[in-house]
Amino acid sequence: MRVLEKLVIVGVGLIGGSFALALKEAGAVRQVVGVGRGERNLRRALELGIIDAAGALDERTLGDAELVLLAVPVGQMGPIMHAIAPWLGGRTIVTDAGSTKQDVVDLARRELESSLARFVPGHPVAGTERSGAEAAFAGLYRERKVVLTPLAENDPGALALVRSAWERCGARVVEMQPREHDAVLAAVSHLPHVLAFALVEQIARHEAPERMFALAAGGFRDFTRIASSSPEMWRDICLANRQALLAELDRYRGGLEEVRAMLERGDAKALEALFSRARDARAQGLKNVQ
């Protein structure tokens, strides 16, 4: 990948900030301009050296940008795309980091019609429960997967540049269709987050939640760590991918009913068999997976 002269990050938080830091560390970008709705966060990004300047959704910021990363909650993608569309340069490539893809693709077809060949949808499957510029770090994407869901209209050069940029961050890039991506992520990412949020809410509604939280050990902390994630971001993800998520919730509810039936009849053999299958499936499924 050639060195980018100018990268614009819209949304300088964990995802966008880490992308900028990784490319800077790799010597793959000369200037990073940050755009965001929070002045305090942008000032902090400048102090931390994540960005070199703060910009806006205007021609001065976007017109000569080589690459623009939209690292905002999926619920903001439509308005952001609408705002940047008039100002994108003729060679500016745009990608995103949204956790859902079919809705983002549909928005891009509507809002970025004249630049669609240079819009490459993406999703870095990496993150922590922290947010904001201070959460960003250069190593976030090392040996992590980034899913690209290219469009039939994509310019090969645009796709190659976006792929190369993520690879310079240390990521392993794979390609999928948007609907396939959304179905898979509903099961392995969106559902676990919903379950974690729901469990914490259930405990908080008990008569003595303080005592219950005080006795929570490692298992509870590990399972519910992701409930510390951004409520705004996960609200948008769940609504954007609600059909696939509803299907996974129905499957999970069916599994819980099976476990409940085992408990009701005191079926130790069935419970142990289920737990054993799950343990073995997890070990095999996550073998050699970061």
| Average pLDDT score over residue span 28-38 | 94
Q: Establish if 290 belongs to a structural domain.
A: no
Contacts of 178 (CB under 8 A, 6+ apart): 101, 102, 104, 105, 121, 149
Do 225 and 244 reside in the same domain of the chain? yes
**Domain of residue 47, residue span:** 7-175
143 assigned to some structural domain: yes
Measured between alpha carbons, how far is residue 204 from residues 195, 209, 212, 219 in Å? 14, 5, 9, 17
Same domain, 138 and 266: no
Indicate whether 207 and 275 sit together in one domain.
Answer: yes
Here the CATH number for the domain that contains residue 168 is 3.40.50.720
Domain boundary among 125, 151, 175: 175
Instruction: Check residue 37 and give its pLDDT.
Output: 82
Whether residues 117 and 194 share a domain: the answer is no
Domain count, the chain: 2
Each residue's pLDDT tens digit, 105-115: 999 999 999 99
Which amino acid type is present at position 244? A
Question: Does residue 172 register a pLDDT over 80?
Answer: yes
What are the helix (H) ranges across the chain? 14-25, 39-47, 59-62, 77-84, 102-111, 156-168, 178-185, 191-204, 209-214, 218-224, 231-240, 242-264, 268-285
**Statement: residue 274 has pLDDT above 70:** yes
3-state DSSP helix/strand/coil percent for the chain, to nearest 5? 55, 10, 30
One domain for residues 149 and 213? no
131 with 190, same domain: the answer is no
Q: Determine, yes or no, domain membership for 19.
A: yes
In this structure, the answer to whether residues 200 and 60 fall within a common structural domain is no
Asked if residue 161 and residue 204 are part of one domain, the reply reads no
Residues 19 and 132 in one domain: yes
Is residue 86 a contact partner of residue 113, using CB atoms and an 8 Å limit?
A: no
Average pLDDT, the chain: 95
> What pTM does this model have?
0.88
Band of residue 192 on the pLDDT scale cut at 50, 70, 90:
very high
Identify whether the C-beta of residue 127 lies closer than 8 Å to the C-beta of residue 14.
Answer: yes
Q: Output the domain CATH number for residue 199.
A: 1.10.3660.10
Q: Is 114 exposed, middle or buried (0-12, 13-18, 19+ CB in 10 A)?
A: exposed
Domain final position from 114, 147, 175: 175
Sign of CA dihedral 100, 103, 106, 108: negative
Least confident piece of the model among 42-51, 189-198, 224-233, 271-280: 224-233
Two structure tokens written together for 64: 């000569």
- 270 domain residue, yes or no: yes
Tell me what pLDDT residue 33 has.
98
Q: What per-residue confidence (pLDDT) applies to 289?
A: 67
Whether residue 77 is found in the same domain as residue 211: no
Whether residue 203 lies inside any domain: the answer is: yes
Amino acid of residue 153? E
Written as six digits, the tokens of 47 are 């102090």
Residues 217 and 276 in one domain: yes
The pLDDT of residue 187 is 97
Dist. CA 65–CA 57, nearest whole Å: 12
In a domain, 26, yes or no: yes
Residue 1 lies in a domain: no
Task: With cut-offs at 50, 70 and 90, classify the pLDDT of residue 103.
Answer: very high
Is residue 32 domain-shared with residue 149, that is, in the same domain? Answer: yes
The four Cα atoms 198, 199, 201, 204 give a dihedral, to 10 degrees, of 170
- Asked which of 142, 175, 208 is the last residue of a domain, the reply is 175
Q: Give, as one character, the DSSP assignment of residue 187.
A: I
Looking at the domain assignment, is residue 248 inside a domain? yes
